[in-house]
Amino acid sequence: MTRPCLPPLASITPPSFRAPAGACDSHAHVFGPYARHPLADDRSYTPTEHPAEAFIAHLDELGLTRGVLVTASASGTDNSVVIDALRQYPTRLRGIAVPAADTTDAQLDAWHDAGVRGVRINLYQIGGHAVYRNGVGIEVLEALAPRLKARGWHAQIWIHAPDLVELGPRLKALGLPLVIDHMGRMATSRGVADAGFQALCALLAEGVAWTKISGADRLQPAGAPYRDVDPFVAALLAANPEQIVWGSDWPHINYFDPAQMPDDGVLFNLLARWIPDEATRHRVLVANPARLYDFG
């Protein structure tokens, strides 16, 4: 048994600015209905059901046009809930799948036709210990890399930024665009001078990697207004604003205390503080995700 997660807030803070046409939430998950899309037996958390139509309602509430769905670790390598959502909303959604070691070319082609544009691997550890069960490791990615490259896909890497010091060269050798989740899942207490965070900034500056300025609530667990996250976002934008996208991380899985559940409106409104320049904000919300995720 795993502990059931809380659902996201039923009522959110209204957006403080109007999102530009084509704006994208580049990181979210969907779950269920569980009668059709059951969770993996071996998992670290149990979310409530959040099907595709609930995510579309989330986009509409924030005034967003597009979204990117990532197969969550609780689903293992069963990507069916994401694939079904992509087929249901083909113009609005793209997806990131978690491949099994024996994924075939036919499966990759079917996923591509549905709207998948990358795969996610789980390298997220703290102190040498995996934080979440499930996911696939770097060996699977290395084996699949030539076939992913042939399809124009990227590799989304769930990793603690300090581990980029050691693993960065191995990831670069894949020859794939890299997308680092949640700003490297840095605890703000480590500071922007942390060697791993500086390695992330260097990867962005080289044009080798992208990152998602998402998960402020997980970088600074004390809660809003997330001021301690500001220097990290500023450093990433200074490194390369062409390689940055934004995501909400809806529906905020693995929260159990209602007082800690983030407000999607507050998270979205951070963009007005982080990126006051409208042209740069358009790049992060529209142009960059359109290029990364191949929105027509």
pLDDT at 115: 98
Q: Which two tokens stand for residue 163?
A: 């581990």
pLDDT at 35: 95
In the block, tokens 């402020």 appear at 216
For residue 232, give the amino acid letter.
F
Is pLDDT of 119 > 70?
yes
Reported confidence tier of residue 40, pLDDT bands at 50, 70, 90: confident
Is residue 247 domain-resident? yes
Residues counted in the chain? 296
pLDDT at 144: 97
Q: What is the mean pLDDT of residues 171-183?
A: 97
Here the CATH number for the domain that contains residue 243 is 3.20.20.140
Q: Which of 74-78, 86-90, 177-181 has the lowest mean pLDDT?
A: 74-78
Looking at every residue in the chain, the average pLDDT score rounds to 95
**How many domains would you assign to the chain?**
1
Is pLDDT of 125 > 80?
no
Q: What is the pLDDT of residues 223-251, one digit of tens each?
A: 999 999 999 999 999 999 999 999 999 99
Is residue 226 domain-resident? yes
Burial of 15 (0-12, 13-18, 19+ CB in 10 A): middle
In the chain, the percentage of residues whose pLDDT exceeds 90 is 88
Q: What is the mean pLDDT of residues 178-197?
A: 95
Is residue 3 domain-resident? no
Would you put residue 152 in left (φ > 0), alpha (ψ -120 to 50) or beta?
left
pLDDT at 74: 87
Q: Which of 37-41, 48-52, 143-147, 270-274 has the lowest mean pLDDT?
A: 37-41
pLDDT at 132: 63
Q: Which phi and psi (to 5°) does residue 167 adopt? A: -90, -15
Our answer to whether residue 294 is catalytic in this structure is: no
Is residue 267 domain-resident? yes
Neighbour tally for 142: CB within 10 Å: 15
Q: Which phi and psi (to 5°) does residue 29 adopt? A: -130, 155
Beta bridge partners of 158: 122
Reported confidence tier of residue 34, pLDDT bands at 50, 70, 90: very high
Residue 35's domain comprises 24-293
Q: What is the mean pLDDT of residues 39-61?
A: 93
Reported confidence tier of residue 126, pLDDT bands at 50, 70, 90: confident
What's the pTM value of the predicted model, to 2 decimals? 0.96
pLDDT at 42: 84
Active-site residue (options: 163, 217, 249, 264): 249
Is pLDDT of 254 > 60?
yes
Q: Which stretch, 3-7, 134-138, 263-267, has highest mean pLDDT?
A: 263-267
Asked if 70 and 120 touch (Cβ cutoff 8 Å), the reply is: yes
In the block, tokens 């999102």 appear at 19
Candidates 106, 100, 88; CA nearest to 30 is: 88
Reported confidence tier of residue 1, pLDDT bands at 50, 70, 90: low
Is residue 15 domain-resident? no
Q: What is the mean pLDDT of residues 153-182?
A: 96
Is pLDDT of 198 > 80?
yes
Q: Which of 37-41, 62-66, 248-252, 276-280 has the lowest mean pLDDT?
A: 37-41
Is residue 48 domain-resident? yes
Q: What is the mean pLDDT of residues 193-220?
A: 97
Q: What is the mean pLDDT of residues 57-79?
A: 96
Q: What is the mean pLDDT of residues 183-192?
A: 94
